[in-house]
Amino acid sequence: MADKELFKVRVQFVERVSKDLIKQLLDDLLEDGVLNEGEKDSVLEENSITRDRARCLIDTVKKKGKIASGKMIAHLERRDANLFSELGLCSGQPEPPAAEEKQEWSATLIPTTEAFWSSKVNDRNIYPVTKNNIRNRVALLITNIKFANERLNRRGAEKDEENMEKLLRALGYEVVKYTNLTGEEIDKALIDFSKHSKLKETDSVFVVIMSHGKLGAVLGVNWKENCSDKDELPINNIYKHLDSEGCPALLNKPKIIIIQACRGEEDGAVLVCDSVKPAVTVKPAVFSDEAPQCRPAASAAEDDVEDDSIRRVHKEKDFISLLSSTPDTVSYRHRDDGSFLIQYVVDVFNNFARNDDVDELFRKVMQRFEEFQDRKQMPTKDRCTVTKHIYLFPEILDSLTPTSVSL
């Protein structure tokens, strides 16, 4: 077994591996998904001596099992054939996973380690987080389950509401929760949330909206087909109420949006073949550049003006959104277990939020759809304007010793 092979050569590997080779192996294992960014950083930043880095690397990979160990051995052979030979390792590709070997998913949130917090808390490439910020976290959760037209009732959505509330609270967010709202009421809930007293001190917010939907809108509970008075919330209103103008308290703070709602009526899967001619007719892409005359030209006088009391800020910034499907396609929900999006979000955040940033967590959610959802649905990251990494540091306040971090 590859993990046992690594264990046999551990001492020799630690003594002989070079600093550059360690960095190359870390990059290879990160690309393979064996390690995440947090684990890679821990190896490099928490160990200043090459031997300590080597020891940390091999122990981390070995603990992940024979598949991960096999990948490291394969990369070692490719990167340094001489060292590979000296260690007496066996050549070959990583072992395929055994049928009974499946990833075990924690049903509860795994906390961040104190070491990871210490390595990231003063990093300028992440959005600032302090212990006081974490204590003031707040999230908005809106779930539409029962509709005026009972045919539209969303069976299983109760489970989504329960699971998301549990996850958000575990991440340290006070949850402002609403159920069964009209489009107008959703809009008012967003406006009220934009004035929440905790927003001045929080480091970030979540806004989770779950309902029926169509392209560009979430449906209210009184929505009726073929009715001129549509009960809808334009998705754009979410950004309008929380942007720099609508909610100054969230200026330069991450706003994490999750929307579970259909964006159309089409199936997200298509059939393809290896023929020279495409099996599916694809409409040509239409490109449109904004006409220069449509943009107001800045005058030379405006360019030269400076003001000590007024400054311009980006109107829509620091948003990252995960929508449950691509444009024009449907989202799927299990009648007992809830929507696939929320199931996968909860799984991924529970297991990886301890080390991964939100953008990477969303990528892992999308990857689960690619692997397990028969390619009918694919979530979409939308309107992403974050400029730094967003780390959530789950349950870090419970694990920090009083003298561990000075903020």
Backbone angles phi, psi at 199, to 5 degrees: -65, -25
Q: What's at 19, amino acid-wise?
A: K
> 270 CB contacts (<8 Å, ≥6 apart)?
280
Query: What mean pLDDT is reported for the chain?
Result: 83
User: In 118-211, which ranges are E strands?
Assistant: 138-143, 174-179, 205-210
Q: For residue 154, is pLDDT > 90?
A: yes
Active site residues: 212, 262
Q: Cβ atoms within 10 A of the Cβ of 70, count?
A: 23
Contact 74, 94 (CB under 8 A): yes
Q: 259: which strand partners?
A: 209, 323
Cβ-in-10-Å burial (0-12, 13-18, 19+) of 290 comes to exposed
Q: Tell me, what's the pLDDT at 62?
A: 87
C-alpha 283/C-alpha 398 separation (Å) is 54
> 367 CB contacts (<8 Å, ≥6 apart)?
none
Q: Tell me, what's the pLDDT at 363?
A: 95
Q: Tell me, what's the pLDDT at 86?
A: 85
Contact 21, 83 (CB under 8 A): yes
- Secondary structure letter of residue 112 according to DSSP: P
C-alpha 63/C-alpha 138 separation (Å) is 36
pLDDT tens-place string over residues 41-68: 889 988 889 999 999 999 888 888 888 8
List, in order of start, the domains of the chain with CATH numbers. Answer: 2-87 (1.10.533.10), 114-266+314-399 (3.40.50.1460)
More confident residue, 23 or 105: 23
Token pair belonging to 362: 């969303």
Q: 143: which strand partners?
A: 179, 210
Q: What is the pTM of this model?
A: 0.67
C-alpha 71/C-alpha 87 separation (Å) is 16
355-377 per-residue burial string, b: 16 or more CB within 10 A, e: under 16: bbbbebbbebbbebbeeebeeeb
Q: Tell me, what's the pLDDT at 45?
A: 87
Q: Tell me, what's the pLDDT at 405?
A: 35
